[in-house]
Amino acid sequence: MPVFYKPVPTSEHDDEESQNLTKSRSARIKTTLFYFVATIAVMYVAYLATRSIIRSVPKHGMHGRPGCHHRNLTTLPSHHILPSGDKIPSVALGVWQAGKGEVGAAVQTALKTGYRHIDGAWIYGNEEEVGKAISASGVPRDQLWLTSKLWNNFHAPEDIEPALDETLTRLNTEYLDLYLIHWPIAFKKGSNNVLDKELTANPYPTWQKLEELVDKGKIRNIGISKIKNLTANPLKHKPAVNQVELNYFNPQPELLKWSKENGLLLEAYSPLGSTKQVKEALSVPEVKEIAKKLDITPAQALISWHVQRGTIVLPKSVTPSRVQENFQVVTLPDDLFDKLEKAATSHPPQRVVNPSKNWGLDFDVFDENWPL
Ligand code: NAP
């Protein structure tokens, strides 16, 4: 019988044999297919892993010092030097709205990643968990930058030290690197909506008490957040920083220019547009273009832009991969930086965070003139 003829089954046995042949052929095909798909899957996972490693490791090598694990340190500042001589790291982990049960893990991830700056506040209600995570990390205290903020109803001079002591106890530390007056609004003690008009109109007594606490060694630097009416007074310790909202929607170029000219460092809060507008910020065409061209993420493009603008940046995340991602900053080429700066400053500014209504104020805390 010529070999190219397929034998016609002549008996039950032949039929069975043929069926077995078909079965074994289809089993072979299935096995080959399985190995093919498995190989593709393994290669894809390897590609993703390699890409994520490449993205998370600085292109120009790691610096040995903590708080400096950024790319391109030759051009982007890893820290700024304050009038006290202290070095404040450029990128911090913000912990507002980082809930109990998740903030500690976020702080641990951040410290493992190389962050050495945590931006917290008494009002965030999570200082104890932040403190525990810091203690558990084993990072020496003198390598950390801890910021906290004085809440609105502790502005009366006699209430400040007890509030600070509570923060220090919760954070399990002897001193803060930076203590800010959280808002330019003072409430009466124990209330969260009864305005203390006198201390709101004139924050000088509050500032003087903070100066005293610097001299006592409980705070290394003091600063403000959104306060405008302080500089008329003779200050023993000038504000070391001003923490303000800076993001794509509200980039405040005039304030940035004024602050640079007057040697007052700005800290960018809600740098990604806060929870409310982060999605929108990450979808801005110029941000996406930078991300694509530099093979970085949109969040990294925005955070890099802030550092390149010369501000401290405080992105918040409780998602481990994002905490890691947000620590990697790169120098944006001039043309891309300018393009994003132009896009951010060409639309009408829109403030993302404004609690005036929630506090029941009958004026806007960001208005130029308060009807006090
Ligand atoms: P933000 O940092 O601009 O945005 C935080 C939001 O972005 C969260 O929803 C976070 O989600 C998400 N996110 C973070 N990284 C991301 C990434 N790589 N990709 C996608 N989404 C990402 O907003 P913020 O918390 O308003 O501001 C930051 C910090 O500034 C605060 O935590 C606080 O320390 C400080 N702040 C200060 C004041 C003040 O009055 N002085 C006011 C506001 C804020 P997940 O957490 O779910 O990852």
pLDDT in tens, 20-31: 555 667 777 777
Specify whether the CB–CB gap between 84 and 325 falls below 8 A. Answer: no
pLDDT in tens, 50-76: 555 444 444 332 222 333 444 444 489
Instruction: Name the residue type at position 81.
Output: I
Neighbouring CB atoms inside 10 A of 217's CB total 9
Catalytic residues: 124
Q: Which residue minimizes the CA distance to atom 9 of ligand 1? A: 275
Query: Which pLDDT score is estimated for 16?
Result: 53
Distance, in Å, from the CA atom of 40 to the CA atom of 30, rounded to the nearest integer, reads 15
Confidence grade of residue 360 (pLDDT, cut at 50, 70, 90): very high
Examine the pLDDT at 15 and tell me if it is beyond 80: no
Examine the pLDDT at 137 and tell me if it is beyond 80: yes
Instruction: Name the residue type at position 85.
Output: G
Tell me if residue 338 falls in helix, strand or coil: helix
Examine the pLDDT at 143 and tell me if it is beyond 70: yes
Q: Single out the residue of 54, 79, 55 nearest to residue 66, CA to CA.
A: 79
pLDDT in tens, 295-352: 999 999 999 999 999 999 999 999 999 999 999 999 999 999 999 999 999 999 999 9
Confidence grade of residue 271 (pLDDT, cut at 50, 70, 90): very high
Query: Which pLDDT score is estimated for 259?
Result: 96
Give me the phi and psi of 82, to 5 degrees please.
-90, 165
Distance, in Å, from the CA atom of 272 to the CA atom of 236, rounded to the nearest integer, reads 35
Query: CA-based angle 289:77:329, to the nearest 5?
Result: 35
Confidence grade of residue 45 (pLDDT, cut at 50, 70, 90): low
Spacing, Cα 296 to ligand 1 middle (Å): 19
Query: Which pLDDT score is estimated for 230?
Result: 83
Spacing, Cα 164 to ligand 1 middle (Å): 24
Pocket flag, ligand 1, residue 274 (CB < 6 Å): yes
Q: Which residue minimizes the CA distance to atom 37 of ligand 1? A: 269
The average pLDDT across 138-162 equals 98
Spacing, Cα 279 to ligand 1 middle (Å): 12
| Ligand 1 probe mutation, 127, 274, 279, 307, most atoms within 8 A of CB | 274
Please enumerate in sequence order all residues whose Cβ is within 8 A of that of 89, keeping only pairs 6 or more positions apart, or say none: 67, 68, 78, 79, 115, 116, 117, 145, 312
Specify whether the CB–CB gap between 211 and 237 falls below 8 A. Answer: yes
Specify whether the CB–CB gap between 249 and 277 falls below 8 A. Answer: yes
Q: Tell me the pLDDT of the chain averaged across its residues.
A: 88
pLDDT in tens, 88-103: 999 999 999 999 999 9
| Ligand 1 probe mutation, 97, 225, 316, 366, most atoms within 8 A of CB | 316
**β-pair partners for 195:** 187
Pocket flag, ligand 1, residue 299 (CB < 6 Å): yes
Confidence grade of residue 49 (pLDDT, cut at 50, 70, 90): low
Query: Which pLDDT score is estimated for 6?
Result: 41
Spacing, Cα 21 to ligand 1 middle (Å): 63
Please enumerate in sequence order all residues whose Cβ is within 8 A of that of 350, keeping only pairs 6 or more positions apart, or say none: 249, 250
Pocket flag, ligand 1, residue 354 (CB < 6 Å): no
Query: Which pLDDT score is estimated for 86?
Result: 98
Tell me if residue 221 falls in helix, strand or coil: coil
Percentage of the chain with pLDDT > 70?
A: 85
Spacing, Cα 331 to ligand 1 middle (Å): 22
